[in-house]
Amino acid sequence: MREVRTVMLAVWDSSDAMPVLRPIVELSLEDIVPDARALEPGHDAGTRGRGLPIVQALAAECGVTRTEPHGKWVWARVAF
């Protein structure tokens, strides 16, 4: 019998807003242009929404569990 080894990763977030999975846009290297503004503090235009697709690609299982009275656990189980 083979034993499956996994690691559970979890992050607690105080926000009540649930994560939203956005469609993945296909990009090529020609589409990527350096943007010096990206290094400025507080600049995050176009840098959101990448986390969930990365987690889904790497995790065997993932999800969100609400906590009372506020917040949620965002978790993933990664097999190795």
Q: What is the pLDDT of residues 2-58, one digit of tens each?
A: 677 999 999 999 999 998 877 767 777 777 777 778 778 877 766 667 788 888 889
Residue 4: per-residue pLDDT = 76
Rg (CA), the chain: 17
**Residue 33 included in any domain:** no
Question: CA–CA separation, 59 vs 76, rounded Å?
Answer: 6
**Tally of CB atoms within 10 A around 49:** 14
**Residue 31 included in any domain:** no
Residue 21: per-residue pLDDT = 78
How many independent structural domains does the chain possess?
A: 1
**Residue 40 included in any domain:** no
Evaluate whether 10 touches 75 at the Cβ level (below 8 Å).
yes
**Residue 35 included in any domain:** no
**Residue 32 included in any domain:** no
Cα distances (Å, whole numbers) of residue 5 to 31, 37, 69 = 38, 42, 33
User: 64: which 2 tokens?
Assistant: 């969100």
Residue 47: per-residue pLDDT = 65
